[in-house]
Amino acid sequence: MRELLGLIARFGLVGLVNTAIGFAVIAGLDIGLGMAPALANACGYAVGIGFGFVLNRGFVFRSRTGVAASAARYLTAALVAFIINQGVLHLAGLALGAGRPEHLVAQLAAMAAYTTALFLICRVWVFRPGRELTAA
């Protein structure tokens, strides 16, 4: 249990930094430049994927799998989490309305969905404990 709590704490720390960076990009593009919410969202996540992979692989999950193998799985996980993110963003946008403050609330809900999905997929598939014994 202690190991899992440490894992969650490290993931949370990396997530906070990554979220701050991504949200700054999203807010700047959406609110600042008036870019379409889905496109601003995509740009924010694109900025964080490389940063997230390096820190999740080395600091959070402390994986010893090969970079190429884990990078391919991480990109797949990020894509699945991003699809979930876009679905939540769309649904929240429909539910909340089209105003600028509502865009930010929808973005935050979508970010929470992305973060939860990415953690679960990384834990059970991308950086699964023991994977370094079965995959290079």
- Model confidence, pTM: 0.75
Give the model confidence (pLDDT) of 71-80 as tens digits.
999 999 999 9
With contact defined as beta carbons under 8 Å apart, do 60 and 51 qualify?
no
Over the stretch 33-65, which tens digit does the pLDDT of each residue have? Answer: 999 999 998 999 888 888 899 999 999 999 988
Domain ranges of the chain: 2-134
Q: Exposed (0-12), middle (13-18) or buried (19+): which is 81, by Cβ within 10 Å? A: buried
d(CA 95, CA 79): 24
d(CA 93, CA 76): 25
pLDDT score at 135: 45
Residue 16 sits at the vertex; the CA angle it makes with 77 and 37, to the nearest 5 degrees, is 65
